[in-house]
Chains A and B, each alone.
Chain A
Amino acid sequence: MPVLSANHAVINALSILPTFSETLTNVLFMVLGAVIITGLAALLALVSVYLERKVSAHMQDRLGPMEVNTEIPILKNIGHGWAQTLADAFKLLLKEDIVPAAADKKLHLLAPFIVFAATLAAFAVLPFGRNLIPSDLNVGVFYLIAISSFVVVGIILAGWASNNKWSLLGAMRSAAQIVSFEIPASVSVLVVIMAVGSLNLGEIVEFQEGGIHRWLIWRFFPFNLLAFFIFFVASLAELNRAPFDLPEAESEIIAGFHTEYSGMKFAMFFLAEYANMFLVGVIISTLFLGGWSSPFGSFLNSAPFQVFWVFVKSFAIIFVHMWLRWTLPRVRVDQLMYTSWKVLTPFAFVSMLGVGLWMILIQ
C-alpha cells in the first residue's frame, strides 16, 4: 500500500505539469497588465500635476511653469513648460532617499508602496471602454471602495513611521477624514447600485448608454443628482483636496504625513495622489455621467471615442476639483466632520431612501 500511495503522489504531482505553461502565460499577462496600468497611472498623474499647475496659475492670472522643455523636435514646439513635471519626476527619482534617523525605516519604506499599490490596484477595474476593462469584476464598485481603504492604512503608517508629530497628526487627520467621508460616499454609490442592480462597472455604464438623458445623474430626479453631489464632495475629502486638505495643511502641520518623505518615496505619494484624482474622476463619470458612453447616444460611441469620453469626463471632474481648490478656503476640523456626519450622510440616506421608494412605488 505505501508503494501504491507513493505512486499516487507522484502521479498527482505530475498532473500539474501540463498546466504549468498555461500558468506561466497567465502570469506574464498579469505582469504586462500591471506594467501598463502603472505606466498609465504615472502618466496620468504627471499630466494631472501639470494641469494643476497650469490651472492654478491661470486662475491666479499668471502663467505657471513655462521654461522646461526638450530638444525633441515636435515636442519642443509644445512649449508652456510641458516637461516641467517630467523633470520634477526625474529630480525626485534622482534625489537622495533621506530617512530620518528616528524613523522606523521599514515602515517608512513600506508606507508609500502601500498607498501607491492600492491606487494602482483600483485602476484594474476601471472601465475605459466597452471592452477596455482590465479586470471586469462582478463586484467592481465594491472592490473600488474596498481597495481605496488600503490608502488609509498606508497614510497612517507613513505618518507614524516618520516619527514626527506633524506627520502623525496629519496621518490621523487624513485617516479620520477618509473614514468619515467613506460613509456618505459609499451610500451614494449604493444609490447607483440600487438603480442599476449590479456591482459591475461595465453594466453600470451600459445601463446609461443611449445619450446624456440616460445618465444616472438625471435619473430618479433629484435623488441621484443629490447622490452625485454628495459623492463629489466626499471624493474631495477622500482625496484630501481643498477645501478639505486638512491632512496636508502646510500652514498648520507642514504637509502632514509626507513631511519626512523626499525623493522617490515622496514621488510615490505624489503620484498616488494625482492618480487618485483621476481615479475619482473616472469613478464619478462611470457612476453618474455615463462612463464611456457618448452623450449623443450611439453617435461618437465607437471604441476609441469611448476612451475619449472617459478621459473627457474624468478631466472635467478633475478640472472642477482644481477649480474648487483655488476658490474655496480650508475648513476647520469640526466643520469637516460636521459636513460629513450631519450633512452628507443624512442626505445620502435620504437619497437612497428616495430611490428605493421610487423603485418600489413606480416600477
Chain B
Amino acid sequence: MITSAILILLLPLVAFIIQIFVGKRLPRKGDWVSTGAMFAALALSVGIFIDAVAQYEPNNVLATATWDWINFGPVHVTFGFLIDNLTAFMLVVVTLVSSLVHLYSIGYMHGDPRYNRYFAYLSLFSFSMLGLVLVDNLFGIYIFWELVGLSSYLLIGFWFEKDSAANASKKAFITNRVGDVGMFAGIMILFSITGTFSFNEVFAAVADGHVGGTLLTVAGILLFFGAIGKSAQFPLHVWLPDAMEGPTPVSALIHAATMVAAGVYMVGRTFVLYTPDALLFIAYIGTITAFIAATIAIVQMDIKRVLAYSTISQLGYMMVGLGTGGYTAGLFHLTTHAFFKALLFLGSGSVIHAVHTQEMDEMGGLRKKMPITFWTFLIATLSISGVFPLSGFWSKDAILASALGFGMTHPAHMPIFVVLLLSAGVTAFYMFRIVFLTFTGEPRDKKKYDHAHESPLTMTIPLVVLAVLSVGTIWWGWVEHMLVKPELASYGSHVASAVEHAAEEHGVAHSAHTIAMFSSVVVATLGILLSAVVYFWRKISADAWAEKLKPIHTFLWNKYYFDELYAATIIRVTLFKSRLFAAFDLKIIDGIVNGTGRLTAAFSRLQGSIDLRGVDGAVNFVARFVGYLGSQLRGLQTGNIQAYIMMALFAVVLLFVFQQF
C-alpha cells in the first residue's frame, strides 16, 4: 500500500518532469503522459479506497511509513505517509477530479501554444495535492501546501499575457502566503513545544497535556490561518474570484474541487489540535464567509465569478461544519462539493468554450445547442442547492444540522445556523439564476449563439461522470461511518473541554438533524422559486430591483469593497512602507555615510572661504616659502658630483662636531 502511495505521488511528478523538459517534442505534445499518469494514479487510489472500504472501520489507519529525512542530530525531521480513511477518500477525490479534468483539458486547451506546459503544471499540481494528502507531518503538509500554491500560481497566470491573469496569479500567491505565514507560525509553536512535526506525535503530545490552554488555541488559530488563505475564507477570500482568470478546467480542479478544499482537509487532519475556542473561531469565520460570498454571488454577471463565490460560500459551509464539531459533515461536504462544483465549472467551461465569453449577459438559450452540458449542469445545480436526494442535499444538511446542534447547546451561537440557512436559500437562488440566464430564454447575443455547439467528447464524458457522482445518494452512510470525528480520547485524551464539547453535541444531534433537513429543503425550494420567478418567468425585473436597492446592489456588485479596502490599507501601507524604507535607506542611512564624506569636504570648503586671507595666506606663504626653498635647494641638486661629495663630507664633519661636543 505504501508502494501504491509512492507511485501515486511519483506518477504525476514524473509526468511533470517529462512534460516540462521534453513535452514539446512528444507526440500530441505529451498530453497523454500527464493524463495517463493521472488515470494510473486514479486506479491506484481506487485500489487503496477499496482496501479502506473492505476493512470498513472508522478512522482506520491503513498504512504508515516514515523515513528519516533531515537529521540535525538532536532533532530529526521525518518524511512519511499516513494512509487512513480520510486519505483514501481524498486520494480518490483528487485523482478522480484531476484525471477527469485532464481529460477535459485535452479538448478545452486544444491548440494552445503552451499546451504541454499546461499539462505539466496540472501534473505538478496533482503531485502537490496528492503529497499534501499523503504526508504524515506538519512540515510535509506545509511544503506541499506551498507547492500547491505554486502550481495554482502557475495555472492562474497561465495566460500571463493578460495583465489581469498575471495580477490574479500574483494576488493568489501572496494572499496565500499571508495565510501560510500564520500557518507556519502555528507549526513553529507546535514544533517548539513538541520537537516534532509528525501528526501522531504532536497529537500524542497534545493529548498528554504538554500543550494546552491559550497557547494551543493560538497555535490552532494560526494553523487555521493557512486554511483561511488556501480555502479562501474571509478575509483572505479575495484571490479566488480573481483566480478565475485561469483556464476553466483549472478552476474546476484547483479552485473548486481540490486545492481550496485543502484547507478544510488540513483542519480535518489536525482536528484534534483545535480547542473549543479555536473551533468557534473557525465556525464564525466560516459563517461570515458563507454569507458574504453568497450575497456577492447574487449580483455578479460573470459565470465563473458566480461559481467562484459559490465555492467560497460552500467552503465557508465546510468550515462551519468543522467548527461546530461536524467533522464528518464538513469533510463529506468537501467530497460532494468537489464533484458537483467541478461539474459546474466544467460545465461553465463547456459553455465558455462554445460562446467564447464568460458574461452571462451574452448567453441565453443554450439548452438546445448543448444538451449534455445543460443537463449535467442542472444536476450539479440541484445538488448544490440541496435538493433531495442529490449529494449536496446530504452534505449540506449535515452541516446545517451540526450548526443547529451547536446552536442548541450554545444558544449564543444560534446565529450561525440562521445565517447558514439564509445562505443556503441564497445559494439556491443564484445557482438557478445561472442556469436560467445561461441555458433558457432567448439568446441575448445572436452571433455567439449561432457559433455555439456542443463540446467534444473528451469534455462531455467528464461531465457525465461527474454528474453521476453528484447524484450519489449512497455516499452518506459510508462517509458517516468511515470518517468519524477523531476524539482526543483515541490519543489517550484528558482534555476535558474537548470531550465535553463533543458529548453535548452528540446529545442534540439527532433532533437537530430533522429540523435542519426540513428547513434546508424549504429554504432551497424558496430560493429556486424566487430565481425562477425572476429569471425564468421574468415576473419580477431584476434590474428594477437592482435600481431600487441601488446601495446594496452596488455594495454587493463591488464585493463588499474588499479589494478596494485592501488596496487602500494593506497594499498601500506596504508600498508606502517600502518606499519609505527605501528612501530612508537612500537618504538617511546612505545619506549619513555620504554626508560624512560630504561634511568633510564642505567643512574644508568653509574653512577655505573664511580663512582665505589668514590661513590661506599662511598656506600660500608656506607654499611659496617651500617653493622658494625648493628653488634654492634645487641648487644643491647640481648634478655635480663634487658638490655632492662636499655636502656629504660637510655632513660628516657636522656629525662629528655634534658627536664630540
A contacting B, Cβ–Cβ less than 8 Å: no
- Residues of chain A having any CB pair with chain B under 8 Å: none
